Structure 1
Amino acid sequence: MKFTRLLFLIVVSLLVNWFTAAGQGNVGGNKPVADTSRRGILITPNSPKGNDSLAILPINSVTGVGDTTKKSKSQLDAELKTLSDSTSYSDDMQTVYYHGNARISYGDFQLDADYIEVNKNTKTIFARGSIDPKTKRYVKRPISKQGSESPITTDSLTYNYETKKGFVWNPFSEQEGNYLSGGKAKKLNDTETALKDQMFSTCDKPDHPHFGIVITWGIVEKKRIISGPAYLKIEGIPIPIGIPFGFFPKMNSRTSGVILPTFGEDQRLGFFLRNFGYYLGLSDYADLTTMGTYFSNGSFEINSTLNYRDRYKYSGNLSLSYGAHNYGLQGDPAKKDFNITWSHSKNANSRPGTTFSASVNAGTSTFYQNNAATSNFNLQALTQNNFRSSIAYGKNWAGTPFNLTVSLSHSQDLTKKTVTMDLPTLNFSMATISPFDSKTRVNAQKWYQRITVGYNLSATNKVINVPESELFTQKTLTKRMQNGVQHQIPVGMNLNVLNYFQFNTSLNYLERWYFQTIRKRYARADSLVIDTVPGFQRVGEYSMGAGVSTKIYSLLQLNGRVKAIRHVMTPNISFSYRPDYSSLDHSYNRAIVSSATIPYPVVSQRYSIFERGIFGGPGGGRQAGLGFTLENNLEAKLRPKGSGTDTAERKIQLLQGLTFSTFYNFAADSFKLSPISFSGHTSLFKGKLAINFGGVLNPYSTQVRDTIANGQLIRYARAINRYSWQDGRFPMLVSFNVSTSISLNSSAFKKQQRPVPVGSTLQNMDPEQAARLSLINGDPAAYIDFNIPWNVNLSYNFNYSNQVVNTQVTNTLMVNGDLSITKNWKIQYNTNLDIRALKVSSATSFAIYRNLHCWSLSVQWLPFGFYKSYNVTLRVNANILQDLKLSKRSDYTANQFNNR
């Protein structure tokens, strides 16, 4: 049954464009040239004359070419220039023969060939190549060029410069990555040329194109090719997929066309045809791609992506996706999902002083799980817990310290299915200035000239943690909106003390404005009611601090390869003070007491009327304490090996940024010492292996207690206000994490890696090719590089969490890479292993790639789990990918230049 459905889908897809191939035959009645490299035809001067009704000439070829005999000015519009190794004439002097490296130039037209003859009687030009006596191959074919247009190579040609008609046999021409080759052509007039049995392809192999569309007959106009019956040919084999007529581009712009699908099978949804659609080239600045996927059980997906770009102004893309999937029994309602993504960036030079950017990702919380193929089963997309979006406009005034930013943001929790939105947020700031310093000062700064002042205003209006289903209801928009304004004025000063110490001090004032506050009351003894009270309220607070830091160096001299080890310590001690704003002396702090009603006791509660404010209220509890931070860096200096190219000393980083920090609050009544945090990072093997780690230590002892609730024994840990070292124990490790990653390939072990041509190469490319190459250089991980035999990326993550009675450990290894089996075959793999549970991710995938120069074949397979499926893709490569020998990954998604 499954095989029958698969066969049905394939037959339907073929019948959509099926047309019986017709008109295949030999090219003309002339004898082919004895050439093993190309299907050439060598015509003689006795071939059909220029006024023959079958006279043919290629696209944009010879126009207005005269002969070398004298003519009146009315006959020649420009000077005819000739060049050759030797020249001869006919007996009647009416025909001129140019032998060896012949060239004729007339106006902006140029013709090069091994042999050219000009016949005044018949008013024709004839050109051909020659057979190399050593290799017996046909060489030095005629090459014609008109102005700045691409040259055209032919086996031979005739041209009547009076009627402006002519023949060409087996032409090969290129226009912006599109190639016409084979067959013959006939020039009808200055703007139209007839074709017969020519192949249209994007493959740049003139001798044997790997694929193409054979045009049995057609007409070439200035901007397009209009064809009659045409059929597909792959590797020289005609394929029974044809069209009765067609239009092909012959212009430097994007052109619309059908996107052919891939096929495969999903274990839950059945057989499918994926990404069948249409590409619409709207203009030089925009295009629209619409694709859909259909499953045999009736499920479907549809996606429409608009890409737009003005090179010197802006670029971006907008994507809308919708899916309906039948995962249950027949007749059950389908699971419907949608997703919207928008990315926009503005060129900073288009309008100096202003910025605008957008990054939007919003939709139903189950979109990626139910539409996994949309992200090509990308693990990060499938396991993400949030959608985040932002749209921001910025303005700064040149010559002033002022800056303005207005933004909209969105955060969607996919687990809880709640949404938080900023509608909008406004920030106005003044960069730090030195009000007492002088621009004309020539002496060293005095202490008061080092005083700095800044300012920041932040105003926001937002909804927080609203269920998805209630987001745009009247209740949310009118009653759940929270707003406020916050002003911040930081004042600071930095001083250099005794040349070794950096002393800094700060004073920070914070003021908040609100347009509504809260009031709490008890409606009953067991019922607390919170009312919203409209009206303007303000509250201010201040804090101050001071700190001192220095650097301590120590050096250990050694013998051997390691010359010395240097340890740099950067201690920092800071003092901070903040008053207690939680006392009832302040009018914004209130207390309520419930009435005593059996069986409910009297309850007293203290609260701040600003506690639900968007910026919160003043801090509770007085703070006066010392902060301690110690940063460590360890590096070594190596002596040269003394052989080869290693003749200079080299520094290596052993440990970077090993930092310990904590805080001691003198004003607290207990637990004055905060947890001790530490972090650091290093790298090995010349930066190829990166290691990051961090953790938290609890300096206090803990006790384990048992309690019974609802008939169950519950064990919990309680902190004791006693340091662990007083009990002879080291501070308890509360949490620890370490992550490491390494990327290896065969090029990493070579002294010089193959550079991707960017600089001068871009100058010789059209804008589309330059944009593609820039995209490749910016994200090389999205492509399979057949020039690199093997590539592997390893990423390891370890997380430890200790809650005394419950310890959690995660131990994960992620592996992805590719391996070349042969020169043109590659295997790509991607998996995620939970080492502790010995479980492999359900999104594990394998793919096989076949590089076929101008097109590529890939088979992607997810062998097990929820997304078990396979997918077969056959696609034509972009020209730039042919040149670099790259292939687009089947497991990677990019927002720009897909399916063009």
Structure 2
Amino acid sequence: MINTRKNSSKYSICAILLMALMLLTSDLLANYHYHKTFDNSLTAFQDTARFRVARDTIPGLKDSLVNTTDTFGLKISKDSLDAPIQYEAADSMAFDIPNKRVILYSKGKITYKDIVLTADSISLEQSTSIITAKYRRDSLGNIIGRPNMIQGETDMTSDLIRYNIKTQKGITTNTFTTQQELFLNMQNSKKVSENEYFARIGRMTTCNLDTPHFAFIANRMKLVNKKLAVTGPVHPEFEGVPIPIYLPFGFFPLSSGRHSGLLAPQFTTSEQFGLGLEGLGSYKVINDYFDVTLRTNLYSYGGYNIYVTPTYRKRYRYTGSLNLAYQSTRILTTDAKSEFQTSKTFNVGWNHSMDNRARPGTNFGASVNAGSTKFNQFVANNPTRNFANQLSSSITYSKTFGTIGNLSLSANHSQNNNTRLINVSLPNAAFTLNTFYPFQKKEFVGEPKWYEKLGIGLNSNIANQLSFYDSAFSFRRIIDTIQWGAMHSVPIQMSLPPLGPLQIAPGISYQEKWYSRKLLRTWNDTRKKIDTAFDKGFYTSRDISFSLGLNTAIFGLFDRFGKNSRVAAIRHVIRPSASISYKPDLARKDYYNQQIDSTGRQYRFSYFEGTVFGPFGEGEFGGISFGVDNNIEAKVRSKTDTSAGSVRKVRLLDGFGFNGSYNFLADSFQLSPLTFYARSTLFEIINITGGATLDPYGYDDKGFRTSRYSWQGDKFSVGNISSANLAISATFQSKKKDESKKKQDQAVADANLPQQTMEEQMLQLEYVRQNPAEFVDFEVPWSVSLSYSLSYSRQFRPDYSGFRSEIFSSLNATGDFSLTPKWKLGMSGYYDFKSAKIQSLTTFITREMHCWQLSINVTPIGLYRSFNITLNPKSGLLRDLRVNRTRYFYGT
């Protein structure tokens, strides 16, 4: 029985294996589809005939119970956010699903639109869209992960932030933020809209330290982002100590760009004007292209000044400004007859420049500085203006006509405040015809002929001029002084092929001048002086000259200095030039002899002296003009670098030489005065420029020239110096702590430095004088600048009795040095050698106080003396918040 069971089990196992083998080797599709034939799955070759088996012919029907959903028609809840929220954390994130809250631990970050929030711990409540950010402290009590939120350009750091990202409202605790130059700290703040905040206990400062040197404290404050901050009662504190000086409210502008507003004044005291309030005014923005500044000065003696300055600008078109000033001066005098001296003066300034891209080929510019001759004398606390005796103006319009030529129209003005003489020249016109070559071929083929290089040009100038004195102004006298003139010049030149090293340039020049009056001088025996008179009319004078110019260059090199010498070579370049010319005496009729003293001495005058273009030179000239120019350079090796590229060029003499002429046709005074000049830069520090005119003829006892050479007398002399000038300037300073930073700062300053007019330069110099601390470089421990000038001239005496010599010599010195890294002393002075007196001396002391600056300016010597003590913040936002003490003194 047992064997029977064993046999039945074996049979069962074999049957199961056999059925499995049959299933693996059969076509499984036969179980589902009907086949007429069966493919042999064990065939060695693939069947070439394929039979298409028909599937179920009954089509399947859609289930009518299936629901379809239109995804574009889904309704979104009004409470949902309109942008995704991205969040991350360095440690972990916890999801509180029942309360719909996400908690980020360690360096949590949430980004939503333009909001980026980071903190050590951040909690996001999805149901209310409220984010809560906190920090934590480590075992040592240090703060880790202080919450920081950046939205657009606003960056805020707080101890606690609760913010609704949907409504953009929230509250913060101990918040720090920056608005322009202002650093804000709000103990408790509430954001009510995208750009508005309300705060309780707010601190405002321009000091960037964690513990600021000063701040303004207010219990209530409203902040409009990037626009303004308004507070209730506000008081300052210094070094954490509150100062019991309260203001009823505070207004802090935070927006950038131009904005209308009031201009704060400063108090001053002057012996001449009394107590004063200077700089009070307003600034008004009219539109994007135009604004106006109004300032007034008020003084206790009754004087006042009004300054109106409109400015206008249009990008890529033009820019300009207008300065209108009116002075009603009432100053204290020492005159026994009158206690006060009164005067009314004015000044007009206009600067206009046109962009070259606005109208190519056309340009218009103006630089006007005109007014009463006594205006600068009564400007308070401005020595730069007080000593400015020359005023000038220019208005020009120019037009280029392609390759033909150009036209220029101008109006000019000059005045001397000492003599009170005013000269006005308008309108002036100048037309220049570009050089054209009449024999030149239209098509350049081969080498041009010599006559094809013949060029002809034309220059025409017309000018009108009038002169009058400010003290004797009247329209009748102005009409009497009006004169006009014209000058035409036709240059004809040719460039011939060089003869070896010689360059040959022949030329012809024709000039003609038109005059509207003659100057007549007659000797008055009764008064023993010369009387002058003008004869109006139309007069002409002409001049023509022929010349042949020769010039070349000679090079010399000396390089035998040895291997150990730092000087590698010296090169000398000599450029001699000579010109043979002839000029007939066409202007003889324009000169006459006239008695000048009771002894009967005669002097030769011209009818056209004092005219617009002046007279031509008298006398026939047939001779040679000569000149020599020299240049000396050296190549110097570096002390440390021995490579070939370490050799640098050093200019020993930038230029020196002389020029003159000799007239073979003259009966006397054949040799002209010789002009010498020299210029050099020594050690790249000292600049030297000098020149002199040497007259080779002797003088008599009254200074008149004689026909004998100066070396033909009893005493040998090479000549008499008729004029000379010398200028030396140098700047010495210690090296900057960071030399690379100095070069970088200088490059940026040079790139951003615009071209300034004389009026703008005077204003800038005055601002530097009043605020030297803003321009002090504490990186340079010391610096000294020296400039010396000397001039000598011989002038004809007004009474024609002879000549007189005048010598002017002066020394300017400026310097400063740092006592400590925060203290600097400086001075600037002007010494006149003729009077042997210090004409002006100004000293200053400045203290760098991180966010504040202290400056003390004292001018103890000179006609205009003053002292000034100023303590003010560095920031431009609070620059007018200054403590100032100023007094002016006038007289010797």
The alpha-carbon distance between structure 1 residues 607 and 813, as it changes in their structure 2 partners (threshold 3 A), is closer
Structure-to-structure mapping, 1:300-339, within 5 angstroms? 300-323=304-327, 324-329=329-334, 331-339=339-347
Partner residue, 1:55? none
2:89 paired with 1:84: yes
Contact 2:435 2:456 in 1 (8 A): yes
2:92 paired with 1:95: no
Partner residue, 1:545? 547
The alpha-carbon distance between structure 1 residues 737 and 620, as it changes in their structure 2 partners (threshold 3 A), is closer
Which one is further off, 817-826 or 403-412? Answer: 817-826
The alpha-carbon distance between structure 1 residues 283 and 523, as it changes in their structure 2 partners (threshold 3 A), is same
Contact 2:214 2:236 in 1 (8 A): no
2:368 paired with 1:360: yes
1:118 to 124, 137, 142: 124
The alpha-carbon distance between structure 1 residues 457 and 199, as it changes in their structure 2 partners (threshold 3 A), is farther
2:778 paired with 1:786: yes
> How far apart are the structure 2 equivalents of 1:519 and 1:789?
61
C-alpha deviation, 1:388, in angstroms = 0.9
Deviations 1:436-461 (A, max 9, x none): 33464253332122222222222222
> Aligned letter for 1:432?
T
Q: Secondary structure at the match of 1:444?
A: coil
Partner residue, 1:725? 711
> How far apart are the structure 1 equivalents of 2:107 and 2:447?
77
The alpha-carbon distance between structure 1 residues 791 and 439, as it changes in their structure 2 partners (threshold 3 A), is farther
> Aligned letter for 1:193?
Y
The alpha-carbon distance between structure 1 residues 235 and 486, as it changes in their structure 2 partners (threshold 3 A), is farther
> Aligned letter for 2:813?
V
Q: Secondary structure at the match of 1:449?
A: helix
Partner residue, 1:653? 651
Partner residue, 1:46? none
Deviations 1:677-714 (A, max 9, x none): 101111111x111111111222112333xxxxxxxxxx
Deviations 1:298-330 (A, max 9, x none): 554443433444343333333233442414047
Q: Secondary structure at the match of 1:634?
A: strand
2:861 paired with 1:859: no
Normalising to structure 1: TM-score of the pair?
A: 0.76
2:423 to 393, 403, 420: 420
> Aligned letter for 1:824?
K
Contact 2:730 2:786 in 1 (8 A): yes
Q: Secondary structure at the match of 1:326?
A: strand
The alpha-carbon distance between structure 1 residues 761 and 814, as it changes in their structure 2 partners (threshold 3 A), is closer
Deviations 1:760-810 (A, max 9, x none): 99999xxxxxxx9xx99xx99982223322222111223345799976544
> Aligned letter for 2:173?
W
Partner residue, 2:161? 157
Contact 2:135 2:144 in 1 (8 A): yes
Q: CA RMSD in A?
A: 4.3
Deviations 1:333-379 (A, max 9, x none): 224443332222222223322222221212232333332523xx33x
C-alpha deviation, 1:387, in angstroms = 0.6
The alpha-carbon distance between structure 1 residues 742 and 880, as it changes in their structure 2 partners (threshold 3 A), is farther
Which one is further off, 613-622 or 356-365? Answer: 613-622
> Aligned letter for 1:157?
I
> How far apart are the structure 2 equivalents of 1:415 and 1:647?
57
Contact 1:89 1:97 in 2 (8 A): yes
Partner residue, 2:64? none
> Aligned letter for 1:117?
S
Structure-to-structure mapping, 1:252-651, within 5 angstroms? 252-263=256-267, 265-266=269-270, 268-269=272-273, 272-295=276-299, 297-323=301-327, 324-329=329-334, 331-371=339-379, 373-374=381-382, 377-378=383-384, 381-397=385-401, 399-438=402-441, 440-464=443-467, 466-471=468-473, 473-513=474-514, 516-517=516-517, 530=533, 533=536, 540-560=542-562, 561=565, 562-583=567-588, 613-616=611-614, 619-641=617-639, 648-651=646-649
Q: Secondary structure at the match of 1:170?
A: strand
C-alpha deviation, 1:832, in angstroms = 1.3
Contact 1:266 1:870 in 2 (8 A): no
Q: Secondary structure at the match of 2:735?
A: helix
> How far apart are the structure 2 equivalents of 1:609 and 1:702?
26
1:744 to 725, 732, 742: 732
C-alpha deviation, 1:77, in angstroms = 0.9
Q: Secondary structure at the match of 2:476?
A: helix
Partner residue, 1:823? 821
The alpha-carbon distance between structure 1 residues 614 and 103, as it changes in their structure 2 partners (threshold 3 A), is same
> How far apart are the structure 2 equivalents of 1:542 and 1:127?
93
2:687 to 685, 690, 713: 690
Partner residue, 1:849? 846
Deviations 1:609-641 (A, max 9, x none): 766753345553323332121111122233454
Q: What is the number of residues matched between the two proteins?
A: 772
Deviations 1:723-775 (A, max 9, x none): 122333322334433211112222379864523469999999xxxxxxx9xx9
Contact 2:853 2:871 in 1 (8 A): yes
> How far apart are the structure 2 equivalents of 1:517 and 1:356?
32
Deviations 1:522-568 (A, max 9, x none): 9999897856555x665544222221111122333433423433322
Normalising to structure 2: TM-score of the pair?
A: 0.76
> How far apart are the structure 1 equivalents of 2:425 and 2:276?
41
Unaligned runs of 5+ in 1: 1-69, 595-599, 705-715, 765-771, 892-900
> Aligned letter for 1:89?
F
The alpha-carbon distance between structure 1 residues 360 and 498, as it changes in their structure 2 partners (threshold 3 A), is same
Deviations 1:388-446 (A, max 9, x none): 1111122223x424222221111001221011111221222123333433464253332
Which one is further off, 346-355 or 748-757? Answer: 748-757
Q: Secondary structure at the match of 2:350?
A: strand
The alpha-carbon distance between structure 1 residues 453 and 647, as it changes in their structure 2 partners (threshold 3 A), is closer
> How far apart are the structure 1 equivalents of 2:200 and 2:751?
36
Unaligned runs of 5+ in 2: 1-74, 753-759, 796-801, 887-892
Contact 1:392 1:407 in 2 (8 A): yes
Partner residue, 2:65? none
Which one is further off, 200-209 or 88-97? Answer: 200-209
> How far apart are the structure 1 equivalents of 2:746 and 2:729?
28
> How far apart are the structure 1 equivalents of 2:651 and 2:220?
68
> How far apart are the structure 2 equivalents of 1:205 and 1:356?
50
Return the index of the structure with the highest Cα Rg: 2
Q: Secondary structure at the match of 1:430?
A: strand
> How far apart are the structure 2 equivalents of 1:132 and 1:449?
93
> How far apart are the structure 1 equivalents of 2:168 and 2:475?
75
Q: Secondary structure at the match of 1:725?
A: helix
Q: Secondary structure at the match of 1:672?
A: coil
> Aligned letter for 2:190?
K
Identity of aligned residues (%): 33
> Aligned letter for 1:495?
L
Contact 1:312 1:347 in 2 (8 A): yes
> How far apart are the structure 1 equivalents of 2:607 and 2:748?
65
Contact 1:201 1:213 in 2 (8 A): no
> How far apart are the structure 2 equivalents of 1:341 and 1:313?
21
Q: Secondary structure at the match of 1:497?
A: coil
Q: Secondary structure at the match of 2:452?
A: helix
Q: Which protein has greater RCO, CA pairs closer than 8 Å, 6+ apart?
A: 1
Structure-to-structure mapping, 1:123-272, within 5 angstroms? 123-131=129-137, 133=139, 136-147=141-152, 149-161=153-165, 164-190=168-194, 192-205=196-209, 207-208=211-212, 210-212=214-216, 214=218, 216-218=220-222, 220=224, 223-233=227-237, 235-239=239-243, 242-245=246-249, 247-263=251-267, 265-266=269-270, 268-269=272-273, 272=276
